[in-house]
């Protein structure tokens, strides 16, 4: 009896160790027989539905990259050596539900839709052995049913502070896909750099994409490195990236910042400022040599919030921004257009005659209502093009634009308030999902500050308990933000975000009831093996995780 019990325990233990999927699926049933299917170069893909090329191509490029072979597709099954892709209606309200079974008859995948098949492929990839180069890939008999919890599962990447090369943007999109995430919020404009080609305004990238230097170290900074830095994405590159993402069922949401964080645009076109003739306000001790020589506007060379913002009293500024939006819309099929709206100091507006006239003419109470006017005016334009505006939670101040989606970053307060006002909300609170904060207790590299350990991200619950069930439905999902003041390279981005993105993916995908920190920690070392296989950088505090 004892022996049987031991055998049973052992069997369960080894069985559990075979399936380590992140994010945790809704249901995983192991056959208990310890049986395995072997995927080999002569395994056939049987396609029983149309539109599955994206999933097939993704799987085949993965096989090719790490095992050196790809599978042929066929219409007639060959013995029991097939990977079958099919559709079965699961009627899930959020795209992506799937069923995956592996048994002696082969691998069978059914998606509720194309997205579901694609996510089944992501789970299948996580069932493959970790050793590269194998041609006999044994996969445990298993039955998985799965579906996403939230519709919006995102990551934001700031390319304004530091530009990331196109191949890395594609890799980043692959990382999103492999974590079953579906929204890439691309922060394209900043004080420190304008990163997208706008044909009508060439100076945005000729001038606005380049800064003459960058402050050194942490606030209050130690001088300037005097290194000219910059770059931008052409519209062709943007189209290429958007197409790449869409083959991975990922929407790219562009962000064009206004009315704040606009120094780079102002350096290109000073008339966008309330005071075109005033020099950008940066102390000489922090300026580059070139910057010290100039008397005019500069692409910002330090971090933090710049006081020079777009003038809200000048109609030409709105015309300019609308023309920019006119070039953005055809590039991005996304329903959402992000206009920033955060951290807009009101110093200039307070002393600007045109802004003050606008306030008087419209009977506005103060500069906060002027900011609200700014965003509402842009919203009207964006809505007239059939698109929906997103803004950071500052857009609540002075009154929310009627159809705006709110991204709550200064904690959850703004999100709660917006949901109560029946506005769609995406949660991105600094407290849980700011991946620019340190994940090591004692900072192990230059970071902006803060401490956000993996467990804290894992414990995040996007629907605040204070919301009624009705209002809770306005929480579309959540997103982690990757601000790159102190991330100068792709490898640093990877190091900062992994494995916290794993924790976030489970917050967003897995049912609340399936979340289990201890279990997640047990699965994590397998994910690290995958990262090793992919040559991905990640943070690991070995004392924190269980070892096998």
Q: How far is the CB of 320 from ligand TNX (least distance, A)?
A: 22
Q: How far is the CB of 534 from ligand TNX (least distance, A)?
A: 27
> Quick one: 428 or 510, whose CB is closer to ligand TNX?
428
Q: How far is the CB of 262 from ligand TNX (least distance, A)?
A: 12
> Quick one: 216 or 448, whose CB is closer to ligand TNX?
448
Give me the sign of the Cα torsion angle 123, 129, 130, 131: negative
Q: How far is the CB of 412 from ligand TNX (least distance, A)?
A: 14
> Quick one: 436 or 494, whose CB is closer to ligand TNX?
436
> Quick one: 342 or 461, whose CB is closer to ligand TNX?
342
Q: How far is the CB of 344 from ligand TNX (least distance, A)?
A: 11
> Quick one: 197 or 393, whose CB is closer to ligand TNX?
393
Q: How far is the CB of 260 from ligand TNX (least distance, A)?
A: 9
> Using a CB cutoff of 8 Å and minimum separation of 24, what contacts does 135-138 make?
135/40, 135/41, 135/67, 135/68, 135/69, 136/38, 136/39, 136/40, 137/38, 137/39, 137/40, 137/67, 138/36, 138/37, 138/38, 138/39
Q: Read out DSSP for 361-382?
A: HHT--SHHHHHHHHHHHHHHHH
Q: How far is the CB of 485 from ligand TNX (least distance, A)?
A: 6
> Quick one: 147 or 423, whose CB is closer to ligand TNX?
423
CA dihedral 443, 445, 451, 456 (to 10 degrees): -110
CA distances from 220 to 229, 302, 305, 484 (A): 21, 10, 13, 17
Bridge-based pairing of strands 336-340 and 388-392 is parallel
* Neighbouring residues of 324: CB distance < 8 A, sequence distance ≥ 6: 198, 200, 201, 256
What residues line the site for ligand TNX (CB under 6 A)?
A: 342-343, 392, 409, 434, 436, 448, 481, 483, 485
- Residue 28 contacts residue 142 (beta carbons within 8 Å): yes
- Residue 253 contacts residue 332 (beta carbons within 8 Å): yes
* Closest-approach residue to ligand TNX (CB): 483
> Quick one: 445 or 532, whose CB is closer to ligand TNX?
445
> If you compute the radius of gyration of the chain from its CA atoms, what whole number of angstroms results?
25
Question: What tokens appear for 236 in the block?
Answer: 């062709």
> Quick one: 409 or 538, whose CB is closer to ligand TNX?
409
Q: How far is the CB of 424 from ligand TNX (least distance, A)?
A: 18
φ, ψ of residue 455 in degrees (nearest 5): -60, -35
């Amino acid at each position: 009896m004892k022996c049987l019990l031991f055998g049973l325990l052992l069997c369960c233990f080894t069985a559990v160790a075979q399936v380590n999927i992140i994010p945790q699926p809704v249901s995983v049933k192991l056959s208990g027989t310890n049986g395995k299917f072997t995927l080999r170069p002569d395994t056939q893909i049987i396609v029983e539905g149309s539109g599955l090329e994206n999933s097939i191509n993704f799987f085949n490029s993965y096989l090719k990259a790490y095992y050196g072979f790809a599978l042929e597709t066929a219409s007639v099954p060959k013995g029991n050596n097939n990977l079958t892709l099919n559709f079965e209606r699961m009627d899930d309200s959020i795209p992506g539900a799937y069923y995956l079974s592996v048994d002696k008859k082969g691998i069978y995948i059914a998606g509720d839709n194309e997205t579901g098949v694609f996510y089944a492929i992501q789970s299948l990839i996580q069932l493959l052995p970790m050793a590269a180069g194998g041609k006999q890939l044994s996969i445990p008999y298993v039955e998985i049913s799965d579906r996403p919890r939230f519709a919006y599962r995102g990551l934001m990447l700031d390319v304004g502070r530091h530009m990331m090369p196109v191949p890395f943007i594609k890799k980043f999109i692959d990382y999103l896909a492999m974590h079953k995430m579906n929204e890439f919020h691309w922060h394209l404009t900043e004080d420190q750099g304008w990163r997208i080609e706008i044909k009508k305004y060439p100076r945005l990238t000729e001038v606005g994409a380049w800064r003459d230097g960058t402050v050194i170290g942490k606030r209050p900074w130690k001088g300037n490195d005097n290194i000219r830095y910059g770059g931008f994405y052409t519209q062709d590159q943007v189209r290429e990236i958007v197409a790449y993402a869409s083959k991975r069922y990922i929407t790219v949401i562009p962000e064009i910042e206004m009315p704040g964080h606009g120094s780079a645009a102002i350096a290109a076109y000073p008339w966008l400022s309330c005071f075109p003739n005033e020099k950008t306000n940066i102390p000489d001790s922090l300026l580059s040599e070139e910057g010290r020589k100039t008397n005019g506007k500069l692409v910002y060379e330090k971090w933090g919030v710049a006081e020079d913002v777009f003038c809200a009293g000048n109609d030409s500024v709105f015309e300019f921004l609308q023309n920019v939006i006119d070039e953005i819309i055809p590039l991005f099929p996304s329903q959402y257009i992000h206009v920033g709206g955060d951290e807009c100091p009101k110093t200039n507006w307070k002393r600007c005659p045109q802004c003050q006239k606008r306030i008087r003419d419209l009977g506005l109470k103060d500069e906060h209502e002027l900011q609200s006017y700014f965003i509402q005016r842009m919203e009207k334009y964006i809505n007239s093009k059939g698109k929906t505006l997103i803004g950071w939670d500052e857009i609540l101040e002075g009154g929310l634009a009627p159809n705006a989606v709110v991204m709550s970053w200064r904690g959850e307060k703004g999100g709660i308030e917006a949901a109560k006002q029946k506005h769609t909300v995406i949660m991105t609170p600094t407290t849980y999902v700011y991946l620019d904060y340190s994940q090591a207790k004692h900072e192990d590299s230059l970071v902006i500050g803060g401490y956000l350990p993996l467990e804290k991200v894992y414990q995040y619950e996007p629907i605040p308990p204070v919301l009624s069930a009705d209002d809770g439905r306005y929480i579309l999902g959540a997103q982690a933000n990757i601000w790159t003041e102190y991330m100068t390279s792709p490898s640093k981005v990877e190091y900062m975000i992994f494995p916290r993105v794993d924790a976030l993916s489970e917050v967003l995908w897995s049912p609340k009831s399936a979340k289990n920190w201890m279990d997640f920690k047990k699965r994590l070392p397998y994910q690290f093996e995958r990262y090793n296989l992919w040559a991905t950088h990640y943070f690991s505090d070995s004392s924190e995780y269980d070892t096998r």
